[in-house]
A and B are shown apart, each in its own frame.
Chain A
Amino acid sequence: MKNIVRKSTALTLGLALVLGASACGRGEAAAEGGKATLAVSTLNNPFFVDLRDGAQAEATELGIDLSVVDAQNDSASQANQLATAATDGTEGIIINAVDTETAEAGLAPIVSAELPIVAVDRSVGATKVASFVASDNVAGGEQAAKALAESLGGKGKIIILEGVPGASATNERGEGFTKGLKEFGDIKVVSSQTANFDRAEALDVVTNLMQSNPDATGVLAMNDEMALGAIQALGAKAGKDVKVVGFDGTEDGFKAVEAGTLVATIAQNPAELGKQSVQILAKAMKDEAVEEVVQVAVDTVNTDNVADYVTK
């Protein structure tokens, strides 16, 4: 019997090794706009593929030779890639960190080489960067609130589904909701409860809230997962008697918009994130002043424009 345990332990360890393995990188020839490196967390996610495409297109436009390295979500590979970049003639770095905490150590060689750093989408801990380019959650929250208020004709009782208490996305999106709803005096928030960004939890919370507030006609969720849980709880009422708006622009979210159960979702714009980070880096490489924080606009996706997003 002991043998079996030993074997299963070995099997588990073996599996872990297989999963943790492999990394790749590549380099390119020099160009007139200078040489820069984009270190992406993973290209195994359409969001970051779009981000890379946006960055690459802008780099070509500005005559920058941009080499892209993919860390495949492994912070150790990203650290290696950054160390390589520090010595291969790169004049500036755009980093989309695998993880905020470990990025600091990985960026140490870049910092000591005194190259300008632009962080995109994720912050990089205490490392000093030229600029941090990210989606504007507050503006997105405002847009979401407006989309819901407009679909309700500017009046009615609504329920807000909050994210994980204390998370930055929860606070920023919540701030946006409040701003957006300010214009609509006839919209009343009858309840604001957390479902921790979780679909299953939102299903229960919305079922409960519809008991205490049977006359609610709108649900404003801080992410698509919770919006989809709300739709599940509402059943046939979703999209008809009760309007739901989400946030994030996930694949399932777009499908729900197409099906008419979700009024709108707020989609981040990864290509724009990539484009703007290249523009900022180009300035920083010429020692021009850049904004410390750049917030990229987000798009409201509803039945009118959802087709553009689904095909992507």
Chain B
Amino acid sequence: MSSVATTPKKGFDFKAFLANNGALVGLVVLCLAMFIATPRFLTGPNLMNIGIQVSTIAVMAFGMTFVIVAAGIDLSVGSIAAISAMTSSYWVTTAGLPDGLSIVVGLAIGGLCGWVTGAMSAYGKLPTFIASLAMLTIVRGLTLVISDGRPIATGDSVSWLGGDLGFMPVPILILIVSGLIAAFVLNRTIIGKNAFAVGGNTEAARLSGIPVKRVLVTVFVISGIFAALSGMILAGRLDSAQPTLASGYELDAIAAVVIGGASLSGGVGRISGTLIGALVLAVIRNGLNLLSVSAFWQQVVIGLVIAIAVGFDVLRRKNVRH
């Protein structure tokens, strides 16, 4: 099999392109299938909807990419999204503090939660799975405590995050800007380079003088801040922060990163891949709604698509290994 793949080619190497962009090919195939299945899919308003709907998961998954690249996992992002949305709403609506600071407060809470998870795993030696699992329930609990189990109306700033800027929905703008920032930090700064080094080979990174523990804490802080932003977008779209906001979203975020071609054993991952992964999930959900597929089958289909997308990617990588 490999004899075909290793044959040197001139110009455009289609196989290599497939291998490096499996998720993108999957997304295109999926969109074509949806387009054939329903004429409602490829309409301006529907594509705009998908853009808005993908924003929360994609922004959360951008942060998650950092943690996964560093060979960790962050299960607490859904809860962090909720507590940040809740605190920023509480700040304005319940406590009557200045609205202008509410987004900053939300982001700071997200970063703080991420710091705690990172510190637990870096200095407390807890596996990231366990540290973030603990944070998942602690933070969700604190959200219920703050809100007393009831929704709190968002302030103007947070509501703006879910609104429109002229013809452009703000969630899509945030998606683009935060994606560019994430890609820049991951690929062009020392933070990203260290994350790749730690995820690729922790021992080698340590020996070459990279502060492994500090890197681990940093990726969790980044993940927490992105989760907070995602939670506030979601609350903004609803004009209210729900105590159950974004519960279970961590799994979608992880799925998006993995569909996008990142490896759960660390050292591999791209922001553009993550965006495509999130789009795959959003297109499936949107399409299944448009086609009125039953709730029971939707879960089966989504699971299958995740398995197939990642499976194909693994196969292609194997075939085209140079």
Instruction: Give A contacts to B, CB under 8 Å.
Output: 1-2, 4-5, 8-9, 12, 19, 162, 165, 190-194, 198-200, 203-205, 207-209, 211-212, 225, 228-229, 232, 251-252
Residues of A within 8 A of B46 (CB): 208, 211
Instruction: Verify if B270 is at the interface (C-beta below 8 Å from A).
Output: no
Residues of A within 8 A of B151 (CB): 199, 252
Smallest Cβ distance from B40 to chain A, in angstroms? 5
Subset of 16 A-B contacts with CB under 8 Å: A5-B124, A9-B124, A162-B295, A194-B295, A199-B238, A200-B234, A200-B238, A200-B242, A200-B245, A207-B49, A207-B52, A207-B53, A211-B49, A212-B291, A232-B237, A232-B238
Residues of B within 8 A of A9 (CB): 124
Q: Closest 3 A-B residue pairs measured CB to CB? A: A194-B295, A208-B289, A212-B290
Contacts A198-B244, A200-B245; A211 near B116 (Cβ below 8 A): no
Beta-carbon contact of B40 and A1 below 8 Å: no
Instruction: Give B contacts to A, CB under 8 Å.
Output: 38, 40, 43, 45-46, 49, 52-53, 116, 119-120, 123-124, 138, 141, 145, 150-151, 213, 234, 237-240, 242, 244-246, 285-286, 289-292, 294-296, 298-299
Beta-carbon contact of B292 and A191 below 8 Å: yes
Beta-carbon contact of A211 and B40 below 8 Å: yes
Residues of B within 8 A of A193 (CB): 289, 292, 295
Smallest Cβ distance from A238 to chain B, in angstroms? 13
The residue on B at minimum CB distance from A229 is B238
* Cα–Cα distance between A199 and B238 once the two chains are bound (Å): 8
The residue on B at minimum CB distance from A159 is B292
Residues of A within 8 A of B294 (CB): 192
* Cα–Cα distance between A166 and B294 once the two chains are bound (Å): 12
Residues of A within 8 A of B244 (CB): 198
Contacts A5-B124, A251-B150; A211 near B290 (Cβ below 8 A): yes
Beta-carbon contact of A205 and B289 below 8 Å: yes
Smallest Cβ distance from A196 to chain B, in angstroms? 9
Beta-carbon contact of A212 and B145 below 8 Å: no
Smallest Cβ distance from B299 to chain A, in angstroms? 8
Smallest Cβ distance from A248 to chain B, in angstroms? 13
* Cα–Cα distance between A209 and B141 once the two chains are bound (Å): 33
Contacts A19-B145, A208-B286; A5 near B119 (Cβ below 8 A): yes
The residue on A at minimum CB distance from B39 is A212
Partner of A204, one of B240, B245, B285: B285
The residue on A at minimum CB distance from B126 is A5
Other than the given A1-B213, A165-B296, A200-B237, 11 more pairs (CB < 8 A) read A4-B119, A8-B119, A19-B141, A162-B295, A194-B295, A200-B238, A205-B289, A211-B290, A228-B238, A232-B238, A252-B240
The residue on B at minimum CB distance from A251 is B150
Beta-carbon contact of B49 and A5 below 8 Å: no
* Cα–Cα distance between A200 and B295 once the two chains are bound (Å): 16
Residues of A within 8 A of B45 (CB): 211
Contacts A193-B292, A194-B295, A232-B238; A208 near B119 (Cβ below 8 A): no
* Cα–Cα distance between A194 and B245 once the two chains are bound (Å): 16
* Cα–Cα distance between A11 and B11 once the two chains are bound (Å): 61
Beta-carbon contact of B120 and A5 below 8 Å: yes
The residue on B at minimum CB distance from A165 is B295
* Cα–Cα distance between A1 and B238 once the two chains are bound (Å): 40
Residues of A within 8 A of B242 (CB): 198-200, 225
Smallest Cβ distance from A171 to chain B, in angstroms? 12
Partner of B289, one of A12, A198, A209, A229: A209
Beta-carbon contact of A200 and B246 below 8 Å: yes
Residues of A within 8 A of B43 (CB): 211
Beta-carbon contact of B119 and A212 below 8 Å: no
The residue on B at minimum CB distance from A8 is B116
Q: Counting chain A CB atoms within 10 Å of each CB, which of B213, B244, B298 scores highest?
A: B244
